[in-house]
Amino acid sequence: MKLEDAKLLAALAGLDVELRSGVSLASLTSLGIGGTTDLLRLRRHETIPEVVRLLDEQGIAHRFLGGGSNLLVRDGELPWVVLQLARAEQEVRIEGNIVEVDAAADLGRTVTYCAKNNLGGMEGLIGVPGTVGGALRMNAGAYGMQIGSYVREVTVYRAASRRIETLRGEQISFEYRHTSFAPDDMMLAVKLELPSKPFREILDGIRICNEKRRSSQPLNQKSAGCIFKNPPGASAGRMIDELGLKGHAVGGARVSERHANFFVNAGNATSADMLALIADVRERVRAAYGFELENEVVIWNE
């Protein structure tokens, strides 16, 4: 979608919004798949209600983009614009065991920064690409931990009230790769409470998690991490592997040889290739095991 209305463009510029026209989402997502649209980079959180209001007024749909590491985006000219938070100058502030982080901050860098300040707990998240906002939305986790366990407060633009609100951790439910935020809520900042730990100890934990990832995941290929959630008591990757589907492909989309729940863009995969592969594997798992696999990857197909 191309924004052309001069009044709208002037109003957005007045709100300090940076407009990048005709951006390819293939270049902004880890899968390397996706069509083109206009990208609005928001430099000031407080302008979000007004930016969304202006877009709504003109019937322009929008999506929120973090680091693009959990997204499968359709091809072609996209019928919505993308909003993304620009990175703040000071992204992380620490006071005792409380860490206040901007949602646009890089997750991995945040984990390391906390580690250097002797705050641990998030070692498992090292190697999870993307932003802190995306991790909150997805309740990202690995190796037995999830970010939601450490959340004390989230500052969020709430679509229902059209205002920026601060929610306490107890007001939000964080489940396995799912949170109680509405789809149109935008995370702006979070306060985490992290346990004190010596830097050396955290570093050892980080090394172990890094090693596990390196030995089991196709880190040099384009992917969005796990495609499916694990059903209760079962492993999606193990089932796909047992069905002999590693290497199974549709066009340029392929089940990784390394990790059967990672689907990679092995060449010029289209969104249709990836969607067909997902549907095919889901059907085979359903037929063999009776599990209806749920997507972990977020699909922007409309």
Name the site residues for ligand FAD (rule: CB under 6 A).
30, 63-71, 85, 103, 128-131, 133-135, 137-138, 140-142, 186-187, 217, 219, 223-225, 298
- If the CB atoms of residues 120 and 133 are measured against ligand FAD, the closer one turns out to be 133
Phi, psi of 110 (to 5 degrees): -65, -45
Q: Smallest distance from the beta carbon of 287 to ligand FAD, in angstroms? A: 27
User: Which token pair is 6?
Assistant: 């001069």
DSSP letter, residue 229: P
Q: Smallest distance from the beta carbon of 225 to ligand FAD, in angstroms? A: 2
- If the CB atoms of residues 54 and 186 are measured against ligand FAD, the closer one turns out to be 186
Q: Smallest distance from the beta carbon of 204 to ligand FAD, in angstroms? A: 19
Residue 3: count of CB within 10 angstroms of its CB:
17
Rounded Cα distance between 254 and 241, Å, is 13
- If the CB atoms of residues 207 and 286 are measured against ligand FAD, the closer one turns out to be 207
Residue 224: count of CB within 10 angstroms of its CB:
26
- If the CB atoms of residues 123 and 273 are measured against ligand FAD, the closer one turns out to be 123
Task: Using alpha carbons, list the distances in angstroms from residue 98 to 88, 140, 184.
Answer: 19, 19, 27
- If the CB atoms of residues 6 and 160 are measured against ligand FAD, the closer one turns out to be 160
Is residue 172 within 8 Å of 161, Cβ to Cβ?
Answer: no
Q: Smallest distance from the beta carbon of 133 to ligand FAD, in angstroms? A: 3
Rounded Cα distance between 66 and 84, Å, is 6
User: Which token pair is 75?
Assistant: 């091809």
Is residue 142 within 8 Å of 124, Cβ to Cβ?
Answer: yes
- If the CB atoms of residues 118 and 235 are measured against ligand FAD, the closer one turns out to be 235
Q: Smallest distance from the beta carbon of 300 to ligand FAD, in angstroms? A: 8
The residue number with the shortest CB distance to ligand FAD is 134
Q: Smallest distance from the beta carbon of 109 to ligand FAD, in angstroms? A: 13
Handedness of CA 250, 263, 179, 26 (dihedral sign): negative
Rounded Cα distance between 45 and 75, Å, is 30
- If the CB atoms of residues 118 and 295 are measured against ligand FAD, the closer one turns out to be 295
Q: Smallest distance from the beta carbon of 208 to ligand FAD, in angstroms? A: 14
Q: Which candidate, 106, 116, 109, 28, places its Cα nearest to that of 72?
A: 28
